[in-house]
Structure 1
Amino acid sequence: MGPFIFGWLTTNEQIIRMGVTILAIDVILEIGRPINIFATNALRAAGDVNYPFYLGLVVMWSVAVGCGYLFGIHWGWGLAGMWVAFLLDENIRGIVFVRRWYGMKWVKKSFVK
C-alpha cells in the first residue's frame, strides 16, 4: 500500500522507498503515541504535573534528540533513524507513564481524593 500512496506523490524510487520505510516505522510509533498522550494527560489531570513534565523533558532530549542524532547522523540511517528515535521516545514515555499510573504514586500528588 505504501508504494501506491507515495507513487501518487512522486516517481522518484528512492523517495518512495524512504516513504515506505518511514510509514512502516510510523505504524509502530502510533501504537505508543496515544498511550503516551492518554497517560500523560491522565496524570496531569489528577494533579501529578511535575513528573510527566520533567520525565518528558529528559526522555525527549535524551532519546528523541540523542538517539535521533546517533541513529540518523552518526550511524547514517538518515530520516529512518530519526523516526526510530521518535518511536523509542513515544513508547518509552508511554510505558513509564502507564506504570506510574498503575503504581498509584500519583495519588500523593492528586487533587482528586
Structure 2
Amino acid sequence: MFDVTSRVTYKNVPNWHRDLVRVCENTLIMLYGNKVDIKDRRVKSKSIVFHRKKNLQYYDISAKSNYNFEKPLLWLARKLMGDPNLEFISMPALAPPEVVMDPALAAQ
C-alpha cells in the first residue's frame, strides 16, 4: 500500500515488492493506493503503472471513508478459495431486542 498524497511512497513500491518477493517467494501480492478521499492527490492514476509491469491487482482505496475497502479483501478471498464468483453477503438487519420491564421495578 502506498499513499496517493505522497510521491515518495509510490517510488518505494518497487523496493517493497522486491523485498517481499525475496522473503515470501510464493505469495499473493496486490497493490493499493490509499487516501484517495483527499483532494490533494500527488500520485495521479495515469502514473500508477508498477502493478501492470508485475501483473499485480491494483485498487484505489480510502481507509478513512471506506471507499473500495472490501475490494482487496474480496479479491484475496476469491484467489484463496479458487472461486472467481465468490461474493460477500451483507448481514441481515436485526431488530433490537425487545425490552420487557417489570412494572413494579419501574415504579421504584
On whether the aligned pair clears a TM of 0.5, the verdict is: no
- TM-score between the two structures when normalised by the length of structure 2: 0.27
Structure with the largest fraction of helix: 1
**Pair member with larger Rg:** 2
Structure with the largest fraction of strand: 2
